[in-house]
Chains A and B, each alone.
Chain A
């Protein structure tokens, strides 16, 4: 290749100047090194023409006239696409285009023959000398690499030398950021995330990506330049190893950490030139651990800036689950096969379709790949590296070559090491078998075809891996039995089948699959907060949406919770009982209507049902099954609910007498409590009417008992009097008693003194209680006065009258 020769020429020239201090000249020297005298013109227009010519020829072959035109257009687009993909797949191809074109226009003629100044730099000669021991082959190879990479680095950038050397950290970093999408994309080398970068950068790496790539062209070239200058200066001292180029090769992947790449690298050159190159350039640093902060494990590579994936807030990958893509690049050999450099010769008029950039990219990926596969014998990959150069037609200028290392057929693919650890062992076995059988067939036919395709590898290795990674991520599972049920089951069945078939002595087949699972880590995004500031920066993403409400969790102790629960449960129970009783009650109430309407035959059944219902109602008032009495507690519970009170009031008429009495007793007994509970609802008064009915049916002893109950314990009467309902009840009772007495002189009311005593106490209470606290009753029976006149003297009677009248009048 003609370029080699020009490089040789360059070498000789560079040795002339050594101690130039002017920044411009340093830059020029650098450019000189990078581009060399015979650099290929990267002008896209020419590229396009070339591709168009190519396509036209293809199109004619295909026989469709339109195809040529379309192909030409496609070729142009393809060329553009190629360019774009070369530059790491920036989505702003236009800007990159502009960058290139802008970068080139000032030097339309200079690039092809970049003899900026034949002044040499201080840098390359020491390198050359260092490697001198190895022969020209190594030298030329290294030169090629040197030339290639900085070529990329320098594309579109080196318009004019930047006078200022003050490349601050910010320019450095912006440059880096900017550089990334544009400069050296396709590496399969582990790429430590941007968190390597200087801390003043925000932690959100991806969103700023596209924006930085859209930086106008003015600053970036400058910054790039200054960066290069800086690196250059840095390097000056450490002559042997750290080259600008080495840095630029790996800069994407190693960030600025290894800026001072590896001064301590072994510089002695050994057998293979490749090793020498690797040692010069340095092995890429694998990330020390999975990068957990801020999201996904993209530690190996930077996804293209167009993928503004919402890493923020997304769960970190801590384990190696089923869907983990392999850390190593899967196959570099795809590129080998498709390398246009090893295809059959094109018609001589058409130069290589891939520009210098693309070739360098290929080289890098290859070198990168092989550098990564360090343990592999260097010869084989070394053979691979050589292939692009020597697989093609013999270089026209009789370039000096060392002896070709023996290597297999041109398209032989060395075995790819897939990471299949996550798969079931059976599965793995099947896969390897399948691949072996397939590998033989494909190798032969595929190579030929691909070798003739100039548009191959538009989708770069990195991009393929990126897509693969995304697809793999979707396979990650915290619960493989849930997500991949059929896979798990299938292999389980297979295992069982095998176990059955073979004897148990063969232990090797009973390999259990332990599926790695992503730990279900509950992690929260803590927004960034600067010290001393009043706010928090929050970046919303799909995994971490904006907080609308800052809800505070109130924790309650266990005891409290239990108590609360109990209370609620009880209440619910009561409500439930009330509801059930209500439905029964409604049926009972409707019975008559239905009975009337029902035909003769059904009446019996209806009657039966009615009886059952009634019985059930009564039963529900009982607390326990075997206890016949109406339960006080139950009644009170029911009455504590408003609906329950209503229920009782409606229920009373339907109850048999003893139970009704019991209920009334219960009410009287618990009146204070009921009154208290009723404060809000004030529905006790509903009970008045049914109660009065019941009372009127009571016997004298029952009345007495009732009055006694009402009076109950000490102070109960006062409370009773306080309450409207209580007063009403009291009056009802008294009136009933009076009625009894007056109607039937033989009534047993006077038999024991209880009644009298009770009435006395009532009157006492009535007198003592202040008028204000005396509640006006709902009903004031007329015969109260006559009642009292029996028991109290005139004076008191008058007082009572006044009081009660006042009360009654005030009603």
Chain B
């Protein structure tokens, strides 16, 4: 029931389970409890889900307040829908380990790439100080 017919509003999403992708790449899943005009979100029973390859792990986080500007996308999760996913849930330690390995591999490829570019006299600035987009 849209409070504001003809527009999009988060009011209808209150108290429903949502998945939110943040700008830093994290994925949170939780019940959306409260919003405000900036689309700051209050999540309840939040779980941070880390995906590495085909595996994922959930870290329970409790209550999260997300500042609106950091949200990339937000979608409702249908709890009734049968979950036929190929993803395999693993423990937290394992998924963190996997994530670390993934990061490491990425860094190494990045390093190699930089070296190759340097050899050719090109340089790409590090994205440390840049915004993501």
| A interface residues, Cβ below 8 angstroms from B | 64, 66-67, 69-71, 73-74, 77-78, 81, 325, 330-331, 333-334, 338, 413, 416, 418, 420, 423, 427, 431, 435, 445, 449-450, 453, 455-459, 463-465, 467-468, 470-472, 475
- A-B pairs, 10 with minimum CB distance: A70-B60, A470-B37, A459-B34, A468-B3, A70-B62, A330-B3, A67-B60, A66-B60, A456-B15, A74-B62
B1 with A449: CB separation less than 8 A: no
With a cutoff of 8 Å between Cβ atoms, the chain A residues found around residue B79 in the complex are 449
Partner of B9, one of A413, A453, A471: A471
B45 with A71: CB separation less than 8 A: yes
Residues 1-31 of B at the A interface (beta carbon under 8 Å): 1-7, 9, 11, 14-15, 31
Partner of A464, one of B3, B58, B60, B62: B3
A464 with B14: CB separation less than 8 A: yes
A338 with B4: CB separation less than 8 A: no
> What distance in Å separates the Cβ of A298 from its nearest Cβ neighbour in chain B?
14
A456 and B17 CA atoms in complex are apart in Å by 12
A459 with B33: CB separation less than 8 A: yes
Q: Does B61 contact A (CB under 8 A)?
A: yes
Contact with A along B53-89 (1 / 0, CB 8 A): 0000011111100000000000000011000000000
> What distance in Å separates the Cβ of B93 from its nearest Cβ neighbour in chain A?
12
A338 and B33 CA atoms in complex are apart in Å by 13
A453 and B45 CA atoms in complex are apart in Å by 12
B63 with A431: CB separation less than 8 A: no
With a cutoff of 8 Å between Cβ atoms, the chain B residues found around residue A81 in the complex are 33
A431 with B6: CB separation less than 8 A: yes
- Asked whether A331 and B63 contact (CB < 8 A) given A74-B45, A449-B79, the answer is no
Q: Does B35 contact A (CB under 8 A)?
A: yes
> What distance in Å separates the Cβ of A675 from its nearest Cβ neighbour in chain B?
69
Q: Does B36 contact A (CB under 8 A)?
A: yes
With a cutoff of 8 Å between Cβ atoms, the chain B residues found around residue A463 in the complex are 34
With a cutoff of 8 Å between Cβ atoms, the chain B residues found around residue A431 in the complex are 5-6
Partner of A467, one of B1, B36, B45: B36
- Asked whether A472 and B4 contact (CB < 8 A) given A78-B63, A338-B15, A467-B36, the answer is yes
A437 and B39 CA atoms in complex are apart in Å by 28
Interface residues on B, range: 20 to 34
B14 with A455: CB separation less than 8 A: no
- Asked whether A455 and B6 contact (CB < 8 A) given A464-B11, A467-B37, the answer is no
> What distance in Å separates the Cβ of A70 from its nearest Cβ neighbour in chain B?
4
With a cutoff of 8 Å between Cβ atoms, the chain B residues found around residue A457 in the complex are 15
With a cutoff of 8 Å between Cβ atoms, the chain B residues found around residue A67 in the complex are 45, 47, 60
Partner of A475, one of B7, B35, B61: B7
| CB-based nearest B residue for A331 | B1
Of residues A330, A445, A458, A467, which shows the largest number of chain B Cβ atoms within 10 Å of its Cβ? A467
- Asked whether A450 and B3 contact (CB < 8 A) given A78-B44, A467-B35, the answer is no
| CB-based nearest A residue for B58 | A64
- Asked whether A450 and B15 contact (CB < 8 A) given A67-B60, A471-B7, the answer is yes
With a cutoff of 8 Å between Cβ atoms, the chain B residues found around residue A427 in the complex are 6
With a cutoff of 8 Å between Cβ atoms, the chain B residues found around residue A455 in the complex are 15, 31, 33, 44
B62 with A468: CB separation less than 8 A: no
| CB-based nearest A residue for B4 | A468
> What distance in Å separates the Cβ of A411 from its nearest Cβ neighbour in chain B?
13
A418 with B14: CB separation less than 8 A: no
Partner of A325, one of B4, B60, B63: B4
With a cutoff of 8 Å between Cβ atoms, the chain B residues found around residue A435 in the complex are 1-2, 5
With a cutoff of 8 Å between Cβ atoms, the chain A residues found around residue B9 in the complex are 468, 471
Partner of A423, one of B5, B31, B47: B5
A472 and B6 CA atoms in complex are apart in Å by 11
A456 and B32 CA atoms in complex are apart in Å by 10
A459 and B79 CA atoms in complex are apart in Å by 21
| CB-based nearest A residue for B1 | A331
A339 and B86 CA atoms in complex are apart in Å by 37
A427 and B7 CA atoms in complex are apart in Å by 11
Partner of A420, one of B1, B5, B34, B63: B5
B1 with A70: CB separation less than 8 A: no
Give 11 pairs: A residue, B residue, CB < 8 Å, sorted on A. Answer: A64-B58, A71-B45, A71-B62, A331-B3, A334-B1, A338-B15, A420-B5, A457-B15, A458-B33, A459-B14, A459-B33
With a cutoff of 8 Å between Cβ atoms, the chain B residues found around residue A338 in the complex are 15
With a cutoff of 8 Å between Cβ atoms, the chain A residues found around residue B36 in the complex are 467
A331 and B15 CA atoms in complex are apart in Å by 15
A330 with B62: CB separation less than 8 A: no
With a cutoff of 8 Å between Cβ atoms, the chain A residues found around residue B60 in the complex are 64, 66-67, 69-71
Partner of B62, one of A73, A445, A449: A73
Partner of B63, one of A66, A74, A465, A472: A74
> What distance in Å separates the Cβ of A464 from its nearest Cβ neighbour in chain B?
5
With a cutoff of 8 Å between Cβ atoms, the chain A residues found around residue B62 in the complex are 70-71, 73-74, 77
> What distance in Å separates the Cβ of B96 from its nearest Cβ neighbour in chain A?
13
> What distance in Å separates the Cβ of B91 from its nearest Cβ neighbour in chain A?
10
A74 and B33 CA atoms in complex are apart in Å by 12
| CB-based nearest A residue for B47 | A67
Partner of B11, one of A71, A333, A456, A467: A467
B5 with A70: CB separation less than 8 A: no
B6 with A471: CB separation less than 8 A: no
A64 and B80 CA atoms in complex are apart in Å by 20
- Asked whether A465 and B3 contact (CB < 8 A) given A74-B63, A453-B15, A471-B37, the answer is yes
A664 and B31 CA atoms in complex are apart in Å by 95
With a cutoff of 8 Å between Cβ atoms, the chain A residues found around residue B34 in the complex are 458-459, 463
B7 with A416: CB separation less than 8 A: no
| CB-based nearest B residue for A458 | B33
- Asked whether A416 and B61 contact (CB < 8 A) given A74-B44, A445-B80, A458-B34, the answer is no
B3 with A423: CB separation less than 8 A: no
A475 and B92 CA atoms in complex are apart in Å by 45
A sample of 9 more A-B contacts (CB under 8 A), given A71-B60, A427-B6, A445-B80, is A64-B60, A66-B59, A66-B60, A325-B4, A416-B1, A455-B31, A458-B15, A467-B11, A468-B4
A423 and B6 CA atoms in complex are apart in Å by 8
A73 and B46 CA atoms in complex are apart in Å by 12
B1 with A330: CB separation less than 8 A: yes
> What distance in Å separates the Cβ of B40 from its nearest Cβ neighbour in chain A?
10
With a cutoff of 8 Å between Cβ atoms, the chain B residues found around residue A74 in the complex are 44-45, 62-63
> What distance in Å separates the Cβ of A517 from its nearest Cβ neighbour in chain B?
17
A431 and B8 CA atoms in complex are apart in Å by 13
With a cutoff of 8 Å between Cβ atoms, the chain A residues found around residue B6 in the complex are 420, 423, 427, 431
A70 with B45: CB separation less than 8 A: yes
With a cutoff of 8 Å between Cβ atoms, the chain B residues found around residue A73 in the complex are 62-63
With a cutoff of 8 Å between Cβ atoms, the chain B residues found around residue A464 in the complex are 3, 11, 14
A77 with B63: CB separation less than 8 A: yes
> What distance in Å separates the Cβ of A366 from its nearest Cβ neighbour in chain B?
16
A458 and B45 CA atoms in complex are apart in Å by 13
A468 with B11: CB separation less than 8 A: yes
A463 and B33 CA atoms in complex are apart in Å by 12
> What distance in Å separates the Cβ of B85 from its nearest Cβ neighbour in chain A?
16
With a cutoff of 8 Å between Cβ atoms, the chain A residues found around residue B2 in the complex are 418, 435
> What distance in Å separates the Cβ of A756 from its nearest Cβ neighbour in chain B?
93
> What distance in Å separates the Cβ of B53 from its nearest Cβ neighbour in chain A?
21
